[in-house]
């Protein structure tokens, strides 16, 4: 008679590399969420004890209730906007993410976006590719060094961005939930006031109802015709219709976005603007960073189930 499998059941809501899947299989019974039909879900309902998700995954209260044995949700990435954290807390479900390992990569990408937007790197690249240099010089771009940066959300990522910007002799100001006593940067208690005082407005805030549409027409008007907006926080923070209007009317000079309101759908009008730089939510996506996030998520799962020693 075959002994029952004592490994915890793990639901893979996101695909994982074969190497990680193989390691996880040693300690967990794995189920790919995408491949389960209704009957299989019903059969597994009382067995699945953990979920492995990514930062774009959505796990609602209703979904949690379908898995009554669920005790942990592990998120590969920083964002947990799609996870109903209140519902998880009410049901005693632990939710863990991997925020620390991607901070430096996201900060690097933020400066790259800002440099690309101010120095018109993408436009100049196309200028050369299309042979337009033969017809004359490319128009001047904006100076980057020695300008003023305002950071919306001075957490881990915002702080890392500030450190990098200071190497370019850029002065830093910020706003957020509260004044921070451990930094010397100038504080503004509202986003419009901050926008009016800077050249570059960098959004590093978290998503959610509190920041929904925070960067609106008023903020963009305050930023002004020489201002540049960068968003690496969440797409929901920026009013995309207001941003489109501001870029078309040159209310602001340029924008650079890594996140969007309805990813991966990006409005055609926004994609076709000449004064914008767009990347596909890839700020944390480096080979090294992805590997570190996978390792951390795996360790969190093993720790939760008391399997770290057996893994070692």
Q: Please say if 234 is a catalytic residue.
A: yes
Write down the catalytic residue from 22, 100, 263, 303: 263
Write down the catalytic residue from 109, 147, 281, 298: 281
Write down the catalytic residue from 27, 49, 109, 234: 234
Rounded CA-CA distance 95/186 in Å is 34
How many Cβ atoms from other residues are within 10 Å of residue 183's Cβ? 13
Rounded CA-CA distance 295/76 in Å is 9
Rounded CA-CA distance 254/237 in Å is 17
Tokens of 284: 């944390």
Rounded CA-CA distance 37/268 in Å is 35
Q: Please say if 281 is a catalytic residue.
A: yes
Angstrom distances, CA of residue 113 to CA of 60, 121, 170, 172, 223? 33, 9, 16, 17, 18
Rounded CA-CA distance 249/243 in Å is 10
**Do 301 and 128 form a contact (C-beta atoms < 8 A)?**
no
List active site positions.
234, 263, 281
């Amino acid at each position: 008679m075959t002994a029952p499998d004592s490994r915890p059941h793990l639901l893979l809501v996101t695909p994982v590399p074969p190497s990680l899947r193989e390691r996880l299989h040693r300690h967990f019974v794995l189920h790919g969420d995408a491949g389960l039909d209704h009957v299989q879900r019903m059969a597994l309902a009382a067995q699945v004890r953990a979920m492995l998700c990514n930062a774009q995954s959505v796990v609602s209260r209703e979904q949690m209730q379908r898995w009554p044995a669920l005790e942990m949700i592990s998120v590969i990435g920083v964002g947990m906007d799609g996870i109903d954290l209140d519902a998880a807390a009410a049901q005693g479900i632990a939710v863990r993410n991997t925020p620390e390992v991607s901070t430096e990569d996201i900060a690097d990408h933020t400066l790259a976006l800002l440099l690309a937007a101010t120095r018109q790197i993408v436009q100049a690249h196309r200028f050369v590719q299309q042979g337009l240099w033969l017809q004359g010089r490319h128009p001047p771009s904006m100076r980057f060094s020695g300008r003023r940066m305002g950071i919306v959300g001075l957490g881990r990522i915002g702080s890392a961005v500030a450190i990098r910007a200071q190497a370019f002799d850029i002065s830093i100001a910020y706003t957020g939930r509260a004044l921070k006593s451990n930094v010397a940067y100038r504080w503004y208690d509202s986003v419009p006031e901050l926008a009016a005082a800077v050249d570059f407005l960098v959004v590093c805030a978290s998503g959610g109802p509190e920041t929904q549409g925070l960067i609106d027409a008023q903020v963009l008007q305050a930023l002004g015709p020489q201002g540049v907006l960068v968003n690496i926080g969440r797409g929901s923070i920026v009013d995309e219709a207001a941003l489109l209007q501001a870029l078309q009317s040159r209310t602001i000079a340029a924008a650079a976005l890594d996140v969007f309101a309805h990813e991966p759908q990006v409005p055609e009008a926004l994609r076709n603007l000449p004064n914008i730089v767009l990347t596909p939510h890839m700020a944390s996506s480096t080979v090294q960073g992805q590997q570190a996030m996978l390792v951390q998520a795996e360790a969190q799962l093993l720790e939760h189930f008391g399997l770290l020693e057996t893994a070692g």
